[in-house]
Structure 1
Amino acid sequence: MPVLTRLVPSPLVVDVRSGALDHLGEVLANPGIASTGRIAVAVSNGSGATLRQRLAPQLPGAAWFTVEDGTLDAAVKLADQIKGGHYDAVVGLGGGKIIDVAKYAAARVGLPVVAVATNLAHDGLCSPVSTLDNDAGRGSYGVPSPIAMIVDLDVIRQAPARYVAAGIGDAVSNISCIADWELSQRETGEAVDGLAAAMSRTAGETILRHPGTIADNDFLVALAEALVLTGISMNVAGSSRPASGACHEINHALDILYPERKGQHGEQCGLGAAFATYLRGDLPVAGQMVAALRRHGLPVTADQIGFSEEEFGKAVQFAPQTRPGRYTILEHLDLSPSAIRDAYSSYVKDVCS
C-alpha cells in the first residue's frame, strides 16, 4: 500500500539561541546554502553596520550592500547590484524591512536567502511574503521563504523593546486568522488546510498563554519559533491565509489610509485581532487577547496607536478592499459605518475597560 505524503518547504537551518551569530559562518558553509562562500549581505545603516564589523572576519567571501529603506525601489536596486555577481546566496541582516528587501531581491535574481533577524517585530522573518512600501502605499509580494533562519537572542535583547514586543501581536493574531478561515469554510466552502491551520494556531496559542516576558530567554525562544512556524504554515497553505485575516485587513487599511503614520505591523494586527474576535462574539478569547497584549505593553485600543475612534472606524470599513476575495468576519457582517462605531464602542466597554 503506497504511503502518501507531501513535501513542505521549510528552512534547512533554524538556529535560535544566544550567540547564534558566532556560528553564522558555519551555517553559510553548508553546501546546500553556499558552496563557494560567495555571499551577498544586505544590511541597514543602523544595527546592520555595527554587526558588519563583528561578522566580516567570519565571511571573507562576502560582499556587503547597504539598504536604505524598506521600499520596492530599494529591493529592485539591491537585485540589480547583486545580479551577475555569481553569489551563492543573499543574507538579509537586520529587522523585518531589511529581510523583506533581501527576500524580494534574492527572488528576483534566483538566489536563496538567509534571514538573520535583529528584532522579532512580525512573522515576515520566515514567510514567503515580502511587504514593501511602493508608490501606492504598501504591497505584499510572493517570494520563496528563507533557506535558513538565524536569531541571536543576545542581539534581539539589544533591539528597542517595542520592536521585539510587536511580534507578540502578530503571533497572537494567528488565532483570529484561523477563526476567519474556518468561518469562510462554513459560509463559502473555502478549503482549510488542517496542517497549516494547526501550525499557525499552535504558534498563536503558545504566545497567548506563555507566562514569560521579552526579558526572559525562554519567552524569546518561544516567540522566535512561533514566528518561524507561522511562516512555514503559509508555505504549507500556499498563501498567507493561515496568518492573515480581518486583523491584517485592518492593519493594511490603516497603512493605506494614513500612510504618514505607518505603525508597527504587529501592534496593529494584535489590536485588529482582538477587535475581530469580539466581532465574532467570542468574548472570552477577545478578553484573553487583550489581557496578553496589555501584559506585554501592546495597544488594545485605537487611541493607543495614535488613531481616533473615527479613523479606526474608517479603516475597518475600508479593510475588506485590501484583500479582495478574502472572506473574514468583516465581509461576513458587512457592517455600516454607524454599526462599526457601535461595535468598537462596545468592544472598548466590554473587553478593554
Structure 2
Amino acid sequence: MNQHTSFDLPICLAVEEDAFFHSDEIIKRYIPDIIGQKTLVISEEFLIGIYREKITDISHDFGNAEILAMKDASFDEAVAIAKKVCVEDIKVIIGIGGGRVLDTAKYAAHISKAVYICMPTSLSNDSLASPFSVLETYGKTRKTIECNIPTAIIVDTNMIINAPETQTLSGIGDTIAKHTALYDWKLAASKGSARIDDFAYALSRMSYDSVYHCDEKNMKSRVFIRILSRALVMGGLAMEIAGSSRPCSGSEHLFAHAIEEYYTDVKISHGIAVALGSIGACIFQKQDPTSMIEFFSAHGLDINPQSYGITEDMFADIWKKARTVRAGRVTILDDIKHDRAQLNEIYSRMVEGK
C-alpha cells in the first residue's frame, strides 16, 4: 500500500446467475476463514416474505444463521443491531435487500467490526459499495455517515432481472450522474475547496462510460446487469479512494437531496431524482444535455418532472433549495444566478423530453 494513502477494497465481487443459491461456495473461494463463523442475516419483513426460499437457503448455508427483519433504516436501528452482534459474538453480517437494508446492515457491521457481506436484491444506486450509509436520525431526517465498505459483494443476476424496472432505472440514473459530478469536482478543485484524486476520478469516469457507451440496451439481459453492477461498485470504490463522495455527487445530487429534505411527498427514487438533476446541472455547466436526454429516453427513464408530481414552481424552488442543502460543497450552483426564466425553459424541455 502507498504510505500516503489508506483505503479498503472488497475481497470479493461476484456477479453470477443464481449466486444467492451458492453464496457459501463463493465465500469459500474468497474468504474461507469466515465459513463456520456465527452469522446474522438482515433484511426487511416484506422481502423475507417475497424471497423466503432464497433467504432461508442462505441462512442454512451459513450455519442456520438467524434471520433478522429490521424495523427501519435508522441510525438507532443500526446501533441496536450492532449491539446484538457484539453481545452475541456474531462475526458476520449478511445484508439482503435494497438500499435501506444494505445501508443499515453496512453501518451495523461498521460499528460492531463484523465482516459484512452485501447481497443486493436490486441495483438502485451506488451505495452498495460506497463508504457511506444514509440513515434516518431524527424522525425522517436522513444523514450520510461514513463507514467501512463491504468485505464481499454478491450479485445474483436472476434476482436483478426480476427486480422492478424502476429500481434498475434508478441505478442507471445514479451512474450517469457521474458526468456532471466530475465536472463539479474539477470546478471545486480549481477553487481550492477539493482535491482531485486521479485514480478515483478515472474509476468514476469508467463507471459512467461503461454504462453510457454500453451496446446492450436490454436492462433485463445478464450482460447489462453485469456491466451496471460493476459500474455501481466502481462508483463506490471511487468514493472510498477519494475519501469523499465527490467522484459521484455534484449539483445533480443537491437537487435530489433538496427533494428528499423539502418535498417528502414527491414519490421518486434517489437515482431517478439524480437523473432529473443531471439535465439541469448539465445545462448550468454549459454542456449540451441532448445526448444524455437521448440516452435516458432509449432506456425508458422518464425525465418529465410532471410524471413525479413536480410542478414548474416546485422545480424552481427545488433548485433554489439545492444551493443550501450541503453547506460548503462547491458546485456550478455557486457560479450561477437563480434564473427563473432559465429554470422554466429547462422544465419545459424536460417535459417535452428533448
The answer to whether the aligner puts 1:11 opposite 2:14 as a matched pair is no
Match of 2:240 among 220, 232, 235: 235
TM-score, length-scaled by structure 2: 0.91
Which of 175-184 and 67-76 deviates more?
Answer: 67-76
Gap change, CA 1:189 and 1:88, over 3 Å in 2:
closer
Gap change, CA 1:111 and 1:182, over 3 Å in 2:
same
* Distance in 2 between residues matched to 1:34 and 1:262, nearest whole Å: 40
Equivalent residue number for residue 298 of structure 2 = 295
Q: Following TM superposition, by how much is the alpha carbon of 1:146 offset from its aligned partner in structure 2, in angstroms?
A: 0.5
Within a 5 Å distance, the mapping from 1:57-136 to structure 2 comes to 57-134=60-137, 135=139
Within a 5 Å distance, the mapping from 1:177-192 to structure 2 comes to 177-188=181-192, 190-192=194-196
* Distance in 2 between residues matched to 1:189 and 1:127, nearest whole Å: 22
Q: Following TM superposition, by how much is the alpha carbon of 1:33 offset from its aligned partner in structure 2, in angstroms?
A: 6.1
The answer to whether the aligner puts 1:325 opposite 2:328 as a matched pair is yes
* Distance in 2 between residues matched to 1:337 and 1:272, nearest whole Å: 16
Match of 2:155 among 147, 151, 156: 151
* Distance in 2 between residues matched to 1:188 and 1:83, nearest whole Å: 42
Within a 5 Å distance, the mapping from 1:206-225 to structure 2 comes to 206-212=210-216, 213-225=218-230
* Distance in 2 between residues matched to 1:219 and 1:145, nearest whole Å: 24
- State the Cα deviation string for residues 82-104 of structure 1 (Å, max 9, x = none): 23111222110111110011011
Answer yes or no: is the 8 Å Cα contact 1:120–1:164 preserved in 2. yes
The answer to whether the aligner puts 1:250 opposite 2:249 as a matched pair is no
Answer yes or no: is the 8 Å Cα contact 1:172–1:270 preserved in 2. yes
Answer yes or no: is the 8 Å Cα contact 1:131–1:141 preserved in 2. yes
TM-score, length-scaled by structure 1: 0.91
Give the counterpart letter for 1:48 in structure 2.
Answer: I
* Distance in 2 between residues matched to 1:24 and 1:266, nearest whole Å: 28
* Distance in 2 between residues matched to 1:201 and 1:304, nearest whole Å: 30
Give the counterpart letter for 1:87 in structure 2.
Answer: I
Answer yes or no: is the 8 Å Cα contact 1:255–1:262 preserved in 2. no
* Distance in 2 between residues matched to 1:70 and 1:299, nearest whole Å: 27
* Distance in 1 between residues matched to 2:35 and 2:102, nearest whole Å: 22
Equivalent residue number for residue 341 of structure 1 = 343
Equivalent residue number for residue 144 of structure 2 = 140
* Distance in 2 between residues matched to 1:230 and 1:84, nearest whole Å: 34
Answer yes or no: is the 8 Å Cα contact 2:305–2:350 preserved in 1. no
Equivalent residue number for residue 281 of structure 2 = 276
Give the counterpart letter for 1:93 in structure 2.
Answer: I
Gap change, CA 1:160 and 1:348, over 3 Å in 2:
closer
Q: Following TM superposition, by how much is the alpha carbon of 1:223 offset from its aligned partner in structure 2, in angstroms?
A: 0.3
Q: Following TM superposition, by how much is the alpha carbon of 1:76 offset from its aligned partner in structure 2, in angstroms?
A: 2.8
* Distance in 2 between residues matched to 1:92 and 1:4, nearest whole Å: 32
Answer yes or no: is the 8 Å Cα contact 1:33–1:112 preserved in 2. no
Q: Which runs of 5+ in 1 are unaligned?
A: none
Secondary structure at the aligned position of 1:321 is classed as coil
Equivalent residue number for residue 25 of structure 2 = 26
Equivalent residue number for residue 47 of structure 2 = 47
* Distance in 1 between residues matched to 2:281 and 2:140, nearest whole Å: 26
Q: Following TM superposition, by how much is the alpha carbon of 1:68 offset from its aligned partner in structure 2, in angstroms?
A: 3.0
* Distance in 2 between residues matched to 1:8 and 1:60, nearest whole Å: 31
- State the Cα deviation string for residues 290-335 of structure 1 (Å, max 9, x = none): 11112222122321222112112111111122211111111221x2
Q: Following TM superposition, by how much is the alpha carbon of 1:5 offset from its aligned partner in structure 2, in angstroms?
A: 7.9
Q: Following TM superposition, by how much is the alpha carbon of 1:41 offset from its aligned partner in structure 2, in angstroms?
A: 1.0
Answer yes or no: is the 8 Å Cα contact 1:33–1:147 preserved in 2. no
Which of 190-199 and 179-188 deviates more?
Answer: 179-188
Q: Following TM superposition, by how much is the alpha carbon of 1:8 offset from its aligned partner in structure 2, in angstroms?
A: 4.2
Answer yes or no: is the 8 Å Cα contact 2:94–2:119 preserved in 1. yes
**How many equivalent pairs are there?**
347
Gap change, CA 1:332 and 1:112, over 3 Å in 2:
farther
Answer yes or no: is the 8 Å Cα contact 1:208–1:288 preserved in 2. no
Answer yes or no: is the 8 Å Cα contact 1:176–1:245 preserved in 2. yes
Which of 129-138 and 139-148 deviates more?
Answer: 129-138
The answer to whether the aligner puts 1:263 opposite 2:268 as a matched pair is yes
Gap change, CA 1:166 and 1:137, over 3 Å in 2:
same
Match of 1:199 among 186, 203, 220: 203
- State the Cα deviation string for residues 236-279 of structure 1 (Å, max 9, x = none): 10011101100111101001011133521110111111210111
* Distance in 1 between residues matched to 2:31 and 2:162, nearest whole Å: 31
CA RMSD of aligned residues (A): 2.2
Which of 207-216 and 149-158 deviates more?
Answer: 207-216
* Distance in 2 between residues matched to 1:7 and 1:20, nearest whole Å: 31
Q: Which runs of 5+ in 2 are unaligned?
A: none
Answer yes or no: is the 8 Å Cα contact 1:115–1:125 preserved in 2. yes
Secondary structure at the aligned position of 1:97 is classed as helix
Q: Following TM superposition, by how much is the alpha carbon of 1:123 offset from its aligned partner in structure 2, in angstroms?
A: 0.5
* Distance in 1 between residues matched to 2:136 and 2:33, nearest whole Å: 29
* Distance in 2 between residues matched to 1:85 and 1:28, nearest whole Å: 22
